[in-house]
Amino acid sequence: MKLRTYFWVWVGVVLVLTYEWLMLNGPQPEEGLLGLLRQLWPAARSWNLSPEAGYPISLVLGWLGIGFMLVTNFYVVRKRLGWFKYWGRIAGWMDFHILCGLLGPTFIVFHTNFKVRG
């Protein structure tokens, strides 16, 4: 994929996460996509949809964020080790590296519920 496509994937992820965050922090958390999933899938009815720290949504976002940040290192491995030189073009790996570098911190910021005090 091209970097432009990856950029729009990232914008889509940011828009979906923002919509869900606004719905979960609003007066009726059942209105978001997770609320819809909760209504359609009986096993999801017991889920706690709070975006606060320690709840499942926050934990999943944190794990996704650290996962994407770790995946960014695949580009360095591909570039430095000769064993992987036939595994695609280096430009494609760089584009994927940039996507993961955008997605990782995005998920981490939503994981912290925008309470980033560096």
- 25 or 97, higher pLDDT: 97
How many other C-beta atoms can be found within 10 angstroms of the C-beta atom of residue 47? 14
Q: Is the pLDDT of residue 106 over 90?
A: yes
pLDDT in tens, 19-48: 888 887 777 666 677 777 777 777 767 767
Q: What is the reported pLDDT for 11? A: 94
Q: Is the pLDDT of residue 116 over 80?
A: no
How many other C-beta atoms can be found within 10 angstroms of the C-beta atom of residue 75? 19
Summary mean pLDDT of the chain: 82
Q: Which of 31, 27, 28, 107 is nearest to 65 (CA)?
A: 107
Q: What is the reported pLDDT for 103? A: 95
- 7 or 115, higher pLDDT: 7
Q: What is the reported pLDDT for 107? A: 92
3-state helix, strand and coil shares in percent for the chain, rounded to the nearest 5: 75, 0, 25
Q: What is the reported pLDDT for 29? A: 61
Q: Cα–Cα distance between 40 and 35 in angstroms, integer?
A: 9
pLDDT band at 64 (very low <50, low <70, confident <90, very high): very high
- 27 or 97, higher pLDDT: 97
Q: What is the reported pLDDT for 100? A: 93
